[in-house]
Amino acid sequence: MVWDWLPEYLPKFVDGLWVTLQLFSLSIFFGFLLAIPIGLVQVTGPKWLGHIARGYCTLFRGTPLLIQLWLLYYGLGSVFPYYPGLRESFIWPILVEAFPYAVVAFSLSVAAYEGHVMKGAFQSVPKGELQAGRAFGMSNFTLLRRVWLPRALQNVLPTLAGEAVLTLKSVPLASTITIFGVYGVGSIVRQETYRVYEPLLFVGFIYICLTGLIVVLFRWLENRVPSESQL
C-alpha cells in the first residue's frame, strides 16, 4: 500500500466530494418533488393520469440508470444541435454542459423509485383520518399538506432512507459522462499514478462515510417524527 499520492490529490477529492454532494442533493430534491404527484395520481384523481404515472414508474424502474443517462446525454445531446434556434437561445449554455443532463437523468430515476414508494405510502394512510380532515372543512391542498403527506411520509421514512443510499451509490455512474465526482477523481488518480487499489479503497471509504451520514440523518428525522411505537 502506497499512500504518498494522497496529500497531492486531496484538494481534488474535496472538489469531487462537492460535485458528488451537489448531484446527489439536487436529484433527491427534484426527484422527491416529482415523486409526490406521481404517487398521488396513482391513488386518487383521474384514471388515465394514474396509468401514465404507473407506466412511467415501470419504464424507469425497468431500465438501467446507465442507459437512461447515456440516452439523455449522448442521444438527446446529439439531436439538440439540429434544432434551429436552439443554438442561439439562452438555454444553449446549459445544454452543452454534462452536469444538467446528469441531474435530469438522476431526478427522473429517483422520481420513479420514490413515486412507487409514495404510492404505497399514500394508500396506507387510514381513510378515517382523511375523512376527519374533510369534516373540518379542509380544502384538498390543505388536507394533503396537513394530513395526507405527513402521515404517508411517517410510514415510509426508513424505505426512503434506503432509496437515498441507493441514489448515492449510483452517483459514480455520472463519471461515464465526464462528471468528476469522488469516483471520477479516483479514476484520474489511478491513471496518473498507476496505483490500482489505493484510490479505489479511498473512494470506497468516502462512500462508506457518506452512507453512514445519510443513515444517521434519516434516523434523526425518524426520531423527530412521532411514530405509533412511541405513543
Query: Cell 498507476 belongs to which residue?
Result: 194
Among 35, 101, 170, 179, binds another protein (CB under 8 A): 170
Rule CB under 8 A: say whether 67 interacts with another protein: yes
Grid cell locating 65: 440508470
Q: How far is CA 42 from the centre of its chain?
A: 20
Among 75, 81, 150, 158, binds another protein (CB under 8 A): 75
* CA nearest to 147, candidates 135, 162, 164, 163: 135
* CA nearest to 225, candidates 159, 168, 152: 152
**Shortest CB 65 distance to another protein, Å:** 7
Question: How far is it, in rounded angstroms, from Cα 152 to Cα 57?
Answer: 19
Question: Which residues make Cβ contacts (< 8 Å) with residue 13, sequence separation at least 6?
Answer: 182, 185, 186, 202, 206
Q: Which of residues 185-224 bind another protein (CB under 8 A)?
A: 186, 196-197, 200-201, 203-204, 207-208, 211-212
Q: Which is nearer to another protein, 32 or 113 (CB)?
A: 113
Rule CB under 8 A: say whether 165 interacts with another protein: yes
Rule CB under 8 A: say whether 101 interacts with another protein: no
Rule CB under 8 A: say whether 74 interacts with another protein: yes
Tell me the window of 21-29, 41-49, 118-126, 153-161 that interacts with another protein (CB under 8 A).
Answer: 118-126
Question: How far is it, in rounded angstroms, from Cα 133 to Cα 104?
Answer: 36
Q: Which is nearer to another protein, 138 or 151 (CB)?
A: 151
Query: Cell 443513515 belongs to which residue?
Result: 215
Question: How far is it, in rounded angstroms, from Cα 178 to Cα 98?
Answer: 7
Question: How far is it, in rounded angstroms, from Cα 60 to Cα 70?
Answer: 14
Cβ-based neighbour number of residue 35 at 10 Å: 26
Among 76, 86, 217, 225, binds another protein (CB under 8 A): 76
Rule CB under 8 A: say whether 86 interacts with another protein: no
Among 79, 86, 132, 217, binds another protein (CB under 8 A): 79
Q: How many residues bind another protein (CB under 8 A)?
A: 41
Residue ranges binding another protein (CB under 8 A): 58-59, 61-68, 70-71, 74-79, 120, 123-124, 165, 168-173, 176, 183, 186, 196-197, 200-201, 203-204, 207-208, 211-212
